[in-house]
Structure 1
Amino acid sequence: MTLNSPAPRQPSIPFARSWRRRCLAWLLGLAGALATATPGQAAEALLVSYGILERSIPIADLERFATTGELTTQLQIYRRQLQITDDQLSQIREVLVTPASISAVGVAQFLYTEQGILLLEQVSRVVQTPVRQANVQALRGALILAAADPETGFTLLNVLKTYPTVAIRIDLAEGLAIAQEINQAILQSEAAFEQVQTLARQQAEANPVDVGALLQLIESERRYGIDLIQVVVPGLPRPALLYLPQVQPGGPPVPPGGFPLVVISHGLGGTRDSYSYLAEYLVTGGIAVATLEHPGSNDQQLYALLAGQSDAVVQDEEFLRRPRDVSLTLNALENLSRNPSVIQNQLDLSRVGVVGQSFGGYTALALAGASFDLARLAAACPPGTLSFNPSLLLQCQALRLGNPGNSLVDPRVRSIFVMNPVGSVLFGPTGYSQLDLPVMVVAGTADTVAPAFPEQIEPFSWLTTPDRYLLLISRGTHFSTIGDVVAGDQPLPIPPDIIGLRPELVWAYMQVLGLAYFKLTLEGDQRFRPALQAAFANAIQTDPYELSLISPLPIAPAAPPSDPAFEGDDPPAAPLAP
């Protein structure tokens, strides 16, 4: 792998604002779309009310505008009154007609889940029947009908057209209040991004490093081959994959105590292969890697949901099962390493790290000792309005479980590397402060699933462990680090715009920084510490991404700016049993 020389610094905040506002427009557009219907008559008008004021817009006028770009006389009047620019008009047209690639069955199944029902209830604050009544059934039905349309599919315009009453009422005051809340969250996030980026620049200037020597050091460690082994884990339906360093002629031998081990926990809808790019890189550097599959939250679980074979995105118990899946995998590997087998004496289970992304990030945090804060969770759940942080819909499920105490902690875990983790309200400051081992947190400024400020930056400020690192990837999305999304190996295809530009660059960052991190935290090799400093991350960044790496983070939650304006290899061998 080759990392390019330092690229000119790119201004990340304007991009983040533009990207997030476009996503916000999609969110509000989708919210409007969710406000629709059951079979029957079609809506003919959009009633926009603001207090005692009300305007009626024929949906036929919107359809004409969406199809031809022409504004009727009435729409021209509204445009002048609202001072809508050409660019904003173009964005509105795009939101009206851009389809979402999702099946009617998938839509129906999601809207009957707990998260779907909650979303419908939130949207009903804004989108109502002509007599100002919410109708969740109408919302659900219209969305399903729009997704089932073989010609135009699920577009906002199509949803408006299939609403089952003569008109659709939009409570503009309520909608603007929600938009303002979301916009304030965006401004708060951008202020935090700028603060992290400024601090990283200061640290880079104050602590320069020899980048060439560090890259040479990291590459010099990659002297092993890859032995891929399937390991049967009692309690898991699918074998884990063990990437075992393979000694090469003239290369280093197996360490006296065995190789340190890293376990990778995928996110919701992932598989054991989602991070093969990272596993293959780490193993060539002398770190064994095990990738497992969480059966209650893998791709098959999402397929089951979309096919009508499951009534939940994940079951509540998955919050307990996931950490235990990792512990079961460690038990199986420990048994094999201690007894006669092809991997006997080759693993050091006293030096274990965990990599987790998204829901896998939660898994790693729980294993490492983060405790539940049920009082904080209860105060935040259910979200009272459309949230800028969709991951809350997942975290709130844990409220029904009670407090597992320290039963999810695995003392063999000595270091964690979490990418886009969720757990802000589930763990809270109390839970995060329980962590006393090295932690690397990776966040993306363009993450709209687990937004960087509430889910990574602020929780990072709650950490008290001395070895803590925050890597902020400008333009990084929730999917940038996932290795199988580009190939389309997902139950729901993810559009390239949502994945982000050139994700292979982000993979390269995860490889280099991940190897350096585990060399330091699991092997105690201090030569790698400079590779976890701001100057090194700054030097290896490549357009379009800016990397800001800091440790620690001495900031309080950022206050938003005052401007409140809202703009729109070989196959594995036969399974190895423990």
Structure 2
Amino acid sequence: MSTIRSRLAAVCTGLALAVIGSPAHALERLVLRFPFLETSITLNLAESGSAEELIRSSPDLSDLLAATDGRLLELLQKVFQAPLPVETKQFLEGSTGQPLLEQALMAATDLVDLQGVEADTTGRMLTDALIRAEAKQQPNILGFLRELPGEEASIQLGRVIDAANRLKANQEKGVALAKAGPAASVTAALQAPLTPVWTRQELTVAVSHRPEAVSVLMLVPTGNANGRVVVISHGLWDDPESFEGWGEFLATHGYTVLMPDHPGSDGAQQRAMLAGDREPPGAEELRLRPLDVSALLDAVESGRLLSGRGLNTQSVAVVGHSWGGTTALQLVGAVPTVRKLSTRCADLRDPERNISWILQCSWLNGIAQAGVADSRVKAAVAVSPPLRLLFEQSSSKNLSTKVLLVSGTRDWVVPSGPEAIAPMRESGATKQGHRLVLAEGMNHFSLRSFRGETQPAVVGPLLLAWINEQLGLNEAFTFSGGGWGDPTVNLVDVSDRL
């Protein structure tokens, strides 16, 4: 029952995020359309006071209320009376007009047909409705809905099904490729619990491209250091700690690992944004994130960071997850362009559309200065990167090094079909030596690995093998030599079958 309640609340909240425009008069009717049942339910917001009156006044609900012996009434009351988080108004006030919010709202409006009001994706109307609901002592979902403008809002639940089917289609190719195998073999010696042979340090580094310093988590090997550097870039609203398991595995094998906390798009930024203290990440972050990485390399090279350790800063590796994967691609020469962003972002029925397009489309205004390669990066791994709209097919030919792309077959944020398989296939990237490895059954977040986990990271041996080979440590464990698989998750190199 709690699952149903949360889904109903999500529908109502989705409506709240979608119904925006210039004030006309209060929303009168809320219609839920069920095309698969060939029916609809109408709730008359203007003709009732309490949530119970609203529900009982709907003739469409009378049979359902009787059939559920009052349980549906209790459920719907909880949904409509659910208080809105206190941070909601502050978040909207701080985010109005920002590209990321506008893209999210545009996607939400696809689920709603609104009569009697003009659409506006700035978020201003949402904020005004929240303020009015609070002033009337009704800071809940029902009070919020009543303060929205318009005559009738119809939630097209059939479009939710369309989106689910689109996601399924965007995952099917990856599922089939991974299932066909073969999975990479496993090296038993690499699956033993890690023995800490590194020191953990957290510092801040002043940078010229941001007003604030960049924090960096460093794992420095204490014994068998090989003098090489790996930088791990986190994704949107994430933190270095989510990838510390990756870093621990690499540090165990001699690499000095730097994990920057990108201040414009990390977890702290998200918390400040939800509190209304900061705007959502802007398009300029597409340029600033790679500069964070380059600034850390500059600090090591100049001796301001890790001085006296003899680190090779002219041949380093960058590993990134999600937006961090996009950052890694930029650093090896992938140059974002506007062509696909300007033509495909507005098409809400695009068969390849997925959640990551909300982020990608918000980057449109930052494309011009986002070509920020760093010649010191000689190895790159991009795990689940949003990239379909960002780079041209020819971009793989211009990269300064070979790239390993990793994608989970059940990734619902950045699905493997449009964001990994199609770009690799269409660009002929494998002919330049780039590779695609699919992680069977893994989603967008399950490949992360945290500090001190009992088992090594699923992709730990894979990262090590690729970096060793690309940095020329050919006497060591390499990607071409195999053995980088995992005993619990099938990792499949599908590059030659695209």
Q: TM-score, normalised by structure 1?
A: 0.67
Q: Is the 1:323–1:408 Cα contact (8 Å) retained in structure 2?
A: yes
Q: What is residue 295 of structure 2 aligned with on the other side? A: 328
- One-letter amino acid matched to 1:190: Q
Q: Is the 1:327–1:410 Cα contact (8 Å) retained in structure 2?
A: yes
- CA–CA distance in 1 between the matches of 2:19 and 2:302? 55
- One-letter amino acid matched to 1:511: G
- One-letter amino acid matched to 1:192: K
Q: Is the 2:15–2:155 Cα contact (8 Å) retained in structure 1?
A: no
Aligned match for 1:144, one of 130, 148, 161? 130
Aligned match for 2:199, one of 226, 229, 238? 226
Bigger drift between 231-240 and 409-418 goes to: 231-240
Query: Residue 264 of structure 1 aligns to a residue in which SS?
Result: strand
- CA–CA distance in 2 between the matches of 1:363 and 1:266? 9
Change (3 A) 1:188 1:414: same
Change (3 A) 1:24 1:411: farther
Change (3 A) 1:159 1:342: closer
Q: Is the 1:36–1:141 Cα contact (8 Å) retained in structure 2?
A: no
Aligned match for 1:518, one of 446, 467, 474? 467
- CA–CA distance in 1 between the matches of 2:455 and 2:58? 46
Q: Is the 1:481–1:506 Cα contact (8 Å) retained in structure 2?
A: no
Change (3 A) 1:134 1:195: same
Q: Is the 2:194–2:456 Cα contact (8 Å) retained in structure 1?
A: no
Deviations 1:547-573 (A, max 9, x none): 342241533xxxxxxxxxxxxxxxxxx
Query: Residue 363 of structure 1 aligns to a residue in which SS?
Result: helix
Q: Is the 2:130–2:139 Cα contact (8 Å) retained in structure 1?
A: no
- CA–CA distance in 1 between the matches of 2:306 and 2:103? 51
- CA–CA distance in 1 between the matches of 2:86 and 2:456? 27
- CA–CA distance in 1 between the matches of 2:446 and 2:96? 23
> CA shift at 1:227, angstroms?
6.0
- CA–CA distance in 1 between the matches of 2:496 and 2:57? 51
Question: Is 1:243 matched up with 2:222?
Answer: no
Deviations 1:383-411 (A, max 9, x none): 54699523223223433345458x51112
Q: Is the 2:43–2:54 Cα contact (8 Å) retained in structure 1?
A: no
Change (3 A) 1:276 1:94: farther
Deviations 1:442-471 (A, max 9, x none): 333454433333223333434333251323
Query: Residue 389 of structure 2 aligns to a residue in which SS?
Result: helix
- CA–CA distance in 2 between the matches of 1:441 and 1:272? 20
> CA shift at 1:286, angstroms?
0.6
- CA–CA distance in 2 between the matches of 1:126 and 1:342? 52
> CA shift at 1:347, angstroms?
1.2
> CA shift at 1:483, angstroms?
4.0
For the aligned residues, what is the CA RMSD?
Answer: 4.8
Change (3 A) 1:199 1:164: same
Aligned match for 2:101, one of 116, 121, 135? 116
Deviations 1:272-304 (A, max 9, x none): 444333323321221111122323323443344
Aligned match for 1:423, one of 374, 387, 390? 387
- One-letter amino acid matched to 2:199: I
Change (3 A) 1:532 1:345: same
- CA–CA distance in 2 between the matches of 1:193 and 1:97? 42
Aligned match for 1:169, one of 153, 156, 175? 153
Question: Is 1:106 matched up with 2:91?
Answer: yes
> CA shift at 1:195, angstroms?
1.6
Deviations 1:391-449 (A, max 9, x none): 223223433345458x5111221212222211210114222443363433333345443
- One-letter amino acid matched to 2:257: V
- CA–CA distance in 1 between the matches of 2:449 and 2:138? 31
Change (3 A) 1:45 1:345: closer
Question: Is 1:317 matched up with 2:267?
Answer: no
> CA shift at 1:533, angstroms?
5.9
Change (3 A) 1:222 1:50: closer
Bigger drift between 180-189 and 278-287 goes to: 180-189
Where in structure 2 are the equivalents of 1:23-102 lying within 5 Å? 30-36=13-19, 43=27, 45-47=29-31, 56-58=42-44, 63-64=51-52, 74-75=60-61
Deviations 1:47-78 (A, max 9, x none): 46899x987434579955999xx997632668
Aligned match for 2:495, one of 524, 544, 552? 552
- CA–CA distance in 2 between the matches of 1:369 and 1:182? 33
Change (3 A) 1:298 1:75: same
Q: Percent of aligned pairs with the same residue?
A: 22
Q: Is the 1:245–1:283 Cα contact (8 Å) retained in structure 2?
A: yes
Query: Residue 275 of structure 1 aligns to a residue in which SS?
Result: helix
- CA–CA distance in 2 between the matches of 1:511 and 1:42? 55
Q: What is residue 345 of structure 2 aligned with on the other side? A: 381
Change (3 A) 1:549 1:76: farther
Q: Note the residue ranges of structure 1 that are not aligned, 5 or more in a row.
A: 1-18, 81-87, 485-502, 556-578
Deviations 1:351-394 (A, max 9, x none): 31111122211110100121223222221234546995232232
- CA–CA distance in 1 between the matches of 2:132 and 2:409? 32
Q: What is residue 188 of structure 2 aligned with on the other side? A: 215
Question: Is 1:474 matched up with 2:441?
Answer: yes
Change (3 A) 1:333 1:184: same
- CA–CA distance in 2 between the matches of 1:519 and 1:215? 18
Q: What is residue 293 of structure 1 aligned with on the other side? A: 261
Q: Is the 2:16–2:126 Cα contact (8 Å) retained in structure 1?
A: no
Q: Is the 2:192–2:455 Cα contact (8 Å) retained in structure 1?
A: no
- CA–CA distance in 2 between the matches of 1:245 and 1:551? 33
Query: Residue 421 of structure 2 aligns to a residue in which SS?
Result: helix
Query: Residue 152 of structure 2 aligns to a residue in which SS?
Result: strand
Q: What is residue 69 of structure 2 aligned with on the other side? A: none
Change (3 A) 1:92 1:508: farther
- CA–CA distance in 1 between the matches of 2:388 and 2:124? 33
Change (3 A) 1:395 1:143: farther
Q: Is the 1:481–1:507 Cα contact (8 Å) retained in structure 2?
A: no
- CA–CA distance in 2 between the matches of 1:197 and 1:66? 50
- The count of residues paired between Structure 1 and Structure 2 equals 476
Change (3 A) 1:422 1:134: closer
Q: What is residue 182 of structure 1 aligned with on the other side? A: 163
Q: TM-score, normalised by structure 2?
A: 0.76
- CA–CA distance in 2 between the matches of 1:297 and 1:220? 32
Query: Residue 228 of structure 1 aligns to a residue in which SS?
Result: strand
- CA–CA distance in 1 between the matches of 2:149 and 2:220? 59
- CA–CA distance in 2 between the matches of 1:134 and 1:467? 44
